[in-house]
Structure 1
Amino acid sequence: MQLYKNNTLKIYNSLTGEKELFKPIHEGNVGMYVCGPTVYSNVHLGNVRTFMSFDMIFRYFLHLGYKVRYVRNITDVGHIVDDVDDGEDKIAKKARVEQVEPMEIVQRYTVDFHDVLKQFNFLPPSIEPTATGHIIEQIEIVRQIIEKGYAYETNGSVYFDVVKFNETNHYGKLSGRNIDEMLANTRDTDGQSDKKNPQDFALWKKAEPEHIMRWPSPWGVGFPGWHLECTAMSTKYLGETFDIHGGGMDLKFPHHECEIAQNEACTGHSPVNYWMHANMLTLNGKKMSKSTGNNILPDEIYNGGSPFLSKVFSPNVARFFMMQAHYRSILDFTNDGIIASEKGFNRLMEGIDILKDLQPGSTSTLDIASWQQACYDAMNDDFNTPILIANLFEGIRFVNLIKDGKETLTAADLKTLAETLNTFTFDVIGIKNEKTAANNSDKLEGVVDLLIQMRLEARANKNFALSDQIRDQLAALGIQLKDGKEGTTFSIQ
């Protein structure tokens, strides 16, 4: 259903500082790019919150009937320590410390990233490109920027000329920074002698002999700058101008500012219509930091082991907790906060469960149409999940009134109430229906037990070919059978 035709969605645009009516470039289609992780360590909870915000936004676009191309990259090269132009690539540094290939580091932490997001019930993006897979495109963009006169080569490296660009454009428009003030306040650092100005940033860096990840280019053997990869991948898959670019608030400067400059230098126009930024996650009122120990890893929430939590919580509860804050607000993660969220989550789930057994009446005494519209109004106001959740609890209040015989709904209104509660809870907010998952698990166990029994009968009848076929085909599906003294058991790999 093309619900977007009946919904007026407003999005807060970081570029203008205002909520703006969302009008996609192509009707019925949305192109959205979100900066993904740098895969040199385990994904941290702050990253999870950012990606969860855009997962929710992706889900709502899909619910409205848009065809969405959601691109979220994997940064597997070119991200320098402290996000400056001089230093050691984080992936290469980790590989050198552990004495493994850089791509082993990339693979390990990409798998970890996907495993964590799966726990929190994320939808996969439409495309998940890697920086190393788009070196040719990045080199081509560097070449175009040089041709346009906004970059210069020196000693095998290529730098973006910020001052030259600012003569005809506005470097700092996204972050609200002034180039003259930035130049005046920038201290000299090692290696900046190659630059015309301290604010110039690397498009391509010469690889020193000890640098592991390197590629040939017209300027010598080297590797791309961090900002360049997102420009290359976003425009390759979404076009020179696309609808939405998202990421964490910490990426606004310099990363996204540099992206805008690179795109405008190449094409002469702005690359993105709506810039969106998710705010940070704090822990007990302080910034999360591995170095200070004020940190929780995502798996510590549902597996335990964190000194900050009194018990384990399901990923569903953690997701619900995060959705209770607006994506542009700072969210403070506390033990008391997630305990309170768990109580609310359980009340919501119980209400949805009760709803299935309610019987319709002959008349409706509750205004379900207005309540449903309030749910859409909340999401249409820059994806306001806290207000949406408040409305969902109002729906649960209706459920309890009907259960207690104090209110009635016609069959049509009861259906609307049920569909709206289920859609916004499971499809939009992204809560996993644990009862459905449990039921599916029970069904799977029943089917596997039946196949185990058939295999035992086949072996008793000396039909070993069928017995082996059952075992091997289950193994191909990731279900391993284990024969023991107590019988045959199975595990899912």
Structure 2
Amino acid sequence: MQLFESNELKIYNSLTGKKEIFKPINEGHVGMYVCGPTVYSNVHLGNCRTFISFDLVFRYLKHLGYKVRYVRNITDAGHLENDADAGEDRIAKKARLEQIEPMEVVQRYTVDFHNTLNKFNNLPPSIEPTATGHIIEQIEIIKDILEKGFAYEMNGSVYFDVIKFNKTNRYGKLSGRNVEDLIHNTRETAGQTEKKNPQDFALWKKAEPQHIMRWPSPWSDGFPGWHLECTAMSTKYLGEHFDIHGGGMDLKFPHHECEIAQNEAATGQSPVNYWMHANMLTLNGKKMAKSTGNNILPNEIFSGDNNILSKAFSPSVTRFFMLQAHYRSVLDFSNEALLASEKGFFRLMEALGSLKSLAISASTSAFDVNSWKNECYEAMNDDFNSPILIANLFEAVKHINNIKEGKETISENDLSLLSEAMNTFIFDVLGLVDAATEENDSDKLSSTIELLIKLRAEARANKDFATSDKIRDELAEIGIQLKDGKEGTTFSIQ
């Protein structure tokens, strides 16, 4: 289905600060890159909101008929936190605390990330490259930037020269910052590092003797800077100039700003036409933070095992809650908000079920379905405005209930059109899952795990500990933990 020719999609471009008509570089094709997670802990709900937002973008572009190459990376390299000049990288720190290999940390939390997004019914990206799988590409970009004079080596590390770059380009164009202000704000720290200027950022860091994750390079055994990996992977799979780059609002500066600078220094052109940023998620009006306890993990929502919510909420209800706010708006997560979303979600699903049994009682309809459908497209074409789309869906719910009660009439053609459009927008575009299907899948999973627990108990009774351990370990690998107790074996899904 090719709808894009007759639709005028507008995207809010963070680079220009305004909505712009979307025109892909190659007609009918879209290249989109989204910054993925650093896999050192369980993916948090704020990150999930970002990935759900771009799943909506991905789904809608596909629905319009575009062939989309969606690239989302996994940060599994040992760069320092926020690309700092000193300290310990988060993956290595977790490995040291748990006395395991860094790549065990990476594997564990990559699996958690995939499992969590699967529960939210996110579509997988077209390509999911890793930072460690693209060290060679990163080294080649550093060589290129050095050759063009926008970087310098110092004691085995390589830094991007922001001041020199800013003489011919504009560093800060995305975030609206200017280098003069940055210099003024960081003057006190000058001389405390080996960099020429505090604003300069690492392209390559020489590894300290105790640093675990390291690779050979022309400058030292070390590791790439945080910003460089996204430049390497986005350009490798989407080209030096592509359509959309997305991520959380917190990545606008310095991460995305540095990406633009690296690309322009290496290629001489701006890398991306449309920069998109999803806003933050707060909890009870305050910023989510593990350190303060004002935090909740997705699986704690689904299981009800938390001190914040009054009950468990399904992944689809949680996804629906997130999509009820525009991706560029701050969204506050609370028990009251989830309860209201659950009520609305079930109203939507009930109306969808009613469509199958509605009576056709006229050749014309009281409800103008064509006009309503156009309003749904207008909402999504206005920078993926999911809350307005959902409001339109509830407008349809009102008419469906009126038809059901005999207060309105609908023709056979309009009923078919309404049914198709409701299913398309609810399932294909918003990516929701029917509550009955979700519960059925959950019941099937529980039954399967209980069967494996029974087979494991039989193996243990027969002293076949190899099989018993194999069942336990392989379930653990996919995030299902078995716990043996006096009352028998129970399980939890991580």
Q: TM-score, normalised by structure 1?
A: 0.89
Matched, 1:268 2:259: no
Please give the secondary structure, in 1, of the residue aligned with 2:366: coil
Cα deviations by residue, 1:171-217 (Å, 9 ceiling, x for unpaired): 00000001011011015559853111000000000011100000000
Structure 1 partner of 2:7: 7
Structure 2 partner of 1:86: 86
The one-letter amino acid of 1:136's match is I
Structure 2 counterparts to residues 455-466 of structure 1, below 5 A: none
Do the aligned partners of residues 443 and 302 (structure 1) sit closer, same or farther apart at CA in structure 2, a change above 3 Å counting? closer
Cα shift at 1:444: 11
Which range is displaced more, 273-282 or 89-98? 89-98
Percent identity, aligned pairs only, is 73
Matched, 1:101 2:75: no
Distance 2:429 2:353 in 1: 18
Distance 1:181 1:352 in 2: 55
Please give the secondary structure, in 2, of the residue aligned with 1:193: coil
Cα shift at 1:78: 3.6
Cα shift at 1:307: 1.0
Structure 1 partner of 2:416: 415
Distance 2:390 2:445 in 1: 33
The one-letter amino acid of 1:374's match is E
Distance 1:78 1:324 in 2: 36
Structure 2 partner of 1:120: 120
Cα shift at 1:365: 1.9
Structure 2 counterparts to residues 205-220 of structure 1, below 5 A: 205-220=205-220
Structure 1 partner of 2:327: 327
Q: TM-score, normalised by structure 2?
A: 0.88
Distance 1:312 1:445 in 2: 16
Structure 2 counterparts to residues 37-186 of structure 1, below 5 A: 37-186=37-186
Q: Is the 8 A contact 1:38 1:79 kept in 2?
A: no
Cα shift at 1:79: 3.3
Which range is displaced more, 300-309 or 431-440? 431-440
Which range is displaced more, 183-192 or 355-364? 183-192
Distance 2:248 2:316 in 1: 22
The one-letter amino acid of 2:104's match is E
Q: Is the 8 A contact 2:278 2:328 kept in 1?
A: yes
Q: Is the 8 A contact 2:348 2:397 kept in 1?
A: yes
The one-letter amino acid of 1:7's match is N
Structure 1 partner of 2:278: 278
Distance 2:212 2:439 in 1: 47
Do the aligned partners of residues 81 and 440 (structure 1) sit closer, same or farther apart at CA in structure 2, a change above 3 Å counting? closer
The one-letter amino acid of 2:305's match is G
How many pairs are equivalent?
455
Q: Is the 8 A contact 1:86 1:190 kept in 2?
A: no
Please give the secondary structure, in 1, of the residue aligned with 2:134: helix
Cα deviations by residue, 1:359-380 (Å, 9 ceiling, x for unpaired): 2232222111100000000000
Please give the secondary structure, in 2, of the residue aligned with 1:356: helix
Cα shift at 1:97: 1.5
Structure 2 counterparts to residues 176-255 of structure 1, below 5 A: 176-186=176-186, 188=188, 192-255=192-255
Structure 2 partner of 1:392: 393
Cα shift at 1:406: 1.6
Matched, 1:432 2:427: no
Structure 2 partner of 1:404: 405
Distance 2:444 2:304 in 1: 29
Q: Is the 8 A contact 1:28 1:65 kept in 2?
A: yes
Which range is displaced more, 425-434 or 251-260? 425-434
Q: Is the 8 A contact 1:12 1:382 kept in 2?
A: yes
Cα shift at 1:85: 2.8
The one-letter amino acid of 2:351's match is G
Distance 2:253 2:150 in 1: 19
Q: Is the 8 A contact 2:32 2:243 kept in 1?
A: yes
Please give the secondary structure, in 2, of the residue aligned with 1:275: strand
Q: Is the 8 A contact 1:302 1:315 kept in 2?
A: yes
Do the aligned partners of residues 374 and 82 (structure 1) sit closer, same or farther apart at CA in structure 2, a change above 3 Å counting? same
Distance 1:138 1:444 in 2: 42
Cα shift at 1:80: 1.4
Q: Is the 8 A contact 1:188 1:198 kept in 2?
A: no
Cα deviations by residue, 1:218-247 (Å, 9 ceiling, x for unpaired): 111110000000000000000000000000
Cα shift at 1:434: 3.2
Q: Is the 8 A contact 2:349 2:435 kept in 1?
A: no
Distance 2:209 2:358 in 1: 72
Cα deviations by residue, 1:57-100 (Å, 9 ceiling, x for unpaired): 10101111110000000000143124423221110111112111
Distance 1:156 1:423 in 2: 55
Structure 2 partner of 1:484: none
Which range is displaced more, 360-369 or 245-254? 360-369
Structure 2 partner of 1:460: none
The one-letter amino acid of 1:423's match is T
The one-letter amino acid of 1:391's match is N
Distance 1:442 1:77 in 2: 38
Cα shift at 1:442: 8.9
Which range is displaced more, 313-322 or 428-437? 428-437
Q: Is the 8 A contact 2:364 2:410 kept in 1?
A: yes
Cα deviations by residue, 1:389-432 (Å, 9 ceiling, x for unpaired): 00000111111111111211211111111111111111111101
Distance 2:375 2:252 in 1: 32
The one-letter amino acid of 2:320's match is F
Please give the secondary structure, in 1, of the residue aligned with 2:357: coil
Structure 1 partner of 2:347: 347
Distance 1:287 1:304 in 2: 21
Structure 2 partner of 1:465: none
Distance 1:83 1:163 in 2: 18
Structure 2 partner of 1:36: 36
Q: Is the 8 A contact 1:25 1:242 kept in 2?
A: yes
Which range is displaced more, 220-229 or 190-199? 190-199
Which structure 2 segments of 5+ residues have no match?
A: 448-473, 479-490
